[in-house]
Amino acid sequence: MSLETDFIVIGSGVAGLRASIALAGSGACVTVLTKDKASESNTEYAQGGVAVVLSDDDNAELHEEDTLTAGAGLCDPEAVEALVTEGTKYIKELIDWGTEFDRDGGRLVFTREAAHSRRRILHAHGDSTGKEIVRALIVRAGREKSINLMPFANTESLLVSDGRCVGVRFLDPILRAPRNIFAKAVILCTGGAGQLFLHTTNPPVATGDGMAMAYFAGAEMADMEFIQFHPTALNVEKAPRFLLSEAMRGEGGILRNKYGERFMARYDERSELAPRDIVSRSIVAEMRSTGTRTVFLDMTAMDEVFLKERFPKIYETCKFYGLDIAKHLLPVSPASHYFMGGVRTDLHGRSSVQGLYAAGEVTCTGVHGANRLASNSLLEGLVFGARAGEAAVSDSSEFRVRSSELESAELETRNLELGTGLATAVKKRVKRSMWERVGILRDKDSLRRALREFQQIAKSNLSISSNNFVTLALLVAEAAFWREESRGAHFRTDFPDKHENWQVHSVQKTGHEIYGSKTINFGVKEL
């Protein structure tokens, strides 16, 4: 038996929750499907904070300029303007809803991170900013009786009828069987796909299913070659790659090699405060030159009490693995962290498929360009989550959900008879190949080998989840192979320079060859 609702939101991170609140504000019935518990998302793991123009010495123009500079020529100026100007409103709204950002004597505390020209980063509980924002949004969403949170409901595919997304097929956690749910519109807020790589700061749920589902539903994907690698993930044997926040270097942390030498100044005049892509590549170069698999983050010059208060979660996690951040050098190395590419949308979350919207890391809005500015992701989720929710309501005012008709209609979906689990063998093979051949440093031969391997795996009798995983790997490798230059987070050792004629966005769609587009946003329709 199928279900019916007004709107479906897939994902319960900052983008999904903010979109749900916007939808519920219209009086609509909103069903939120999540793969895990409601609080399990990339948002919850965001330590670095949220960038926003609120301090006296800052303004939107400076924040916009920093974002455009980090994006290496591929940001969409309109999207960036929307982010930095509307962001202030949405952060104030979060504060009104009870979000407890760090304060000193009642005044908000602003910190600085790499590539920011001002101290504009807000934190909550030191290094638990994302977790605190999710907490406040879940409480706020709980006041809306029309929002129905459905945890442990793994979405299998999007349902399309006559070119319009009309719902999703998901695994009912109670019935433990596939079930259809129909709606006026679907908003994808499924986050990124850091789990594609052997080493990642992302939680286990970040496998990119939302991107793959959108691709199979006919949506255009953009800039899939641009993946940001965080330079400082804890590198301890048998421990997860726990992220050691950008803010640690912002507060004065120093990177040292195995000889105890500070090395970043040899690679960039900004040293530890250079953009993430430069720091990551510098660390890789230093590890290769010294024949090691790690470098070290040195925080020992700082006061122990300050470090405990400023980085409580990091302090406790490192302590669990026998490291005192105030006394020991912390072993670190890069790990995959954030997708700049994703579902191509306009400025209001509309994808190229009618009825399908997206917000947050699953999208490519043009905000981040070729390299995300630190701490812009939470702000993007808030701003574009709200925008997507408002657009979905406005666009679908005349559309009526008729599940009885849709059940008997010819629905475009994928074969769901093959099971749903992500096969361990497939996962391991893809993750290793992505890390070794489609990672921080890329070249033609390695990318070609990766493509051949993924194409071979794709011919196997795969489950839906495994097919999603391999397809996403193929999209990333194909886009990386196509872009014969180095720009932002995409670095080709065989094409190490940036070229003006490559100042275009890669666009991929089922049944079509990859191509370059000068613009990222399409068919912009103002509300």
In a domain, 190, yes or no: no
Domain span at residue 244? 231-335
For residue 444, pLDDT over 90 is answered with: yes
In a domain, 140, yes or no: no
- Domain count of the chain? 1
Mark residue 150 as left, alpha or beta (left: phi above 0; alpha: psi -120 to 50; beta: remaining). beta
Q: Are strands 227-234 and 107-108 parallel, antiparallel or unpaired?
A: unpaired
Tens digits of residue pLDDT in 136-192: 999 999 999 999 999 999 898 999 999 999 999 998 888 888 899 999 999 999 999
Rounded to an integer, the average pLDDT of 115-142 is 91
Rounded to an integer, the average pLDDT of 341-352 is 97
By percentage, how much of the chain surpasses pLDDT 70? 93
Burial of 264 (C-beta count, 10 Å sphere; 0-12/13-18/19+):
buried
In a domain, 324, yes or no: yes
pLDDT tier at 526 (50, 70, 90 boundaries)? Answer: very low
Burial of 55 (C-beta count, 10 Å sphere; 0-12/13-18/19+):
middle
Rounded to an integer, the average pLDDT of 254-269 is 97
- Which of 468, 471, 498, 470 is CA-nearest to residue 483? 498
178 beta partners = 171
Tell me how crowded residue 486 is: count the other CB atoms within 10 A of its CB.
23
Rounded to an integer, the average pLDDT of 512-519 is 96
Assess contact for 192 and 224: CB atoms under 8 A: no
In a domain, 308, yes or no: yes
Tell me how crowded residue 524 is: count the other CB atoms within 10 A of its CB.
11
Rounded to an integer, the average pLDDT of 1-11 is 92
Tens digits of residue pLDDT in 262-296: 999 999 999 998 888 899 999 999 999 999 999 99
Rounded to an integer, the average pLDDT of 490-513 is 97
Confidence (pLDDT) at 427? 95
- Which residues have C-beta within 8 Å of that of residue 19, sequence separation ≥ 6? 9, 187, 189, 349, 357, 359, 385, 386, 388, 389, 392
Confidence (pLDDT) at 413? 58
Count the helices and strands in the chain (H runs, E runs). 14, 23
DSSP secondary structure letters along 393-419: HHHTTT----HHHHHHS--B----TT-
For residue 378, pLDDT over 60 is answered with: yes
Token pair listed for 456: 């071979």
Assess contact for 343 and 15: CB atoms under 8 A: no
d(CA 378, CA 52): 10
pTM score: 0.93
What is the side-by-side order of every strand in the sheet holding 110-111? 50-51, 121-122, 110-111
Confidence (pLDDT) at 144? 95
Assess contact for 200 and 449: CB atoms under 8 A: no
In a domain, 276, yes or no: yes
Instruction: Give the least confident one: 6-10, 410-414, 468-472.
Output: 410-414
d(CA 32, CA 148): 6
Q: Could you tell me the CATH number of the domain that includes residue 326?
A: 3.90.700.10
Assess contact for 154 and 204: CB atoms under 8 A: no
d(CA 397, CA 392): 8
Assess contact for 320 and 188: CB atoms under 8 A: no
Rounded to an integer, the average pLDDT of 469-484 is 98
Tens digits of residue pLDDT in 187-242: 999 999 999 999 999 988 899 999 999 999 999 999 999 999 999 999 998 888 99
Average confidence score pLDDT of the chain: 92
Report CA torsion sign: 448, 449, 453, 456.
Answer: positive
End-to-end Cα spacing for the chain: 36
Catalytic status, residue 164: no
Structural element, H or E, at residue 44? none
149 beta partners = 32
Q: From residue 344, give the alpha-carbon distance in Å to each of 205, 233, 359.
A: 22, 29, 10
Tens digits of residue pLDDT in 400-410: 877 666 665 55
Tell me how crowded residue 415 is: count the other CB atoms within 10 A of its CB.
8
Assess contact for 107 and 100: CB atoms under 8 A: no
Burial of 242 (C-beta count, 10 Å sphere; 0-12/13-18/19+):
buried
Confidence (pLDDT) at 466? 93
pLDDT tier at 32 (50, 70, 90 boundaries)? Answer: very high
In a domain, 270, yes or no: yes
For residue 416, pLDDT over 50 is answered with: no
- Which residues have C-beta within 8 Å of that of residue 467, sequence separation ≥ 6? 212, 414, 458
Rounded to an integer, the average pLDDT of 24-51 is 77
Q: The tokens 């900052």 sit on which residue?
A: 14
d(CA 270, CA 268): 5
d(CA 11, CA 140): 16
For residue 524, pLDDT over 50 is answered with: no
Assess contact for 385 and 14: CB atoms under 8 A: yes
Q: From residue 47, give the alpha-carbon distance in Å to each of 40, 126, 138, 322, 355.
A: 14, 8, 18, 21, 33
Confidence (pLDDT) at 527? 31
In a domain, 404, yes or no: no
d(CA 281, CA 277): 6
Assess contact for 506 and 514: CB atoms under 8 A: yes
Instruction: Determine which one of 276, 310, 350, 442 is catalytic.
Output: 276
Assess contact for 465 and 422: CB atoms under 8 A: yes
In a domain, 248, yes or no: yes
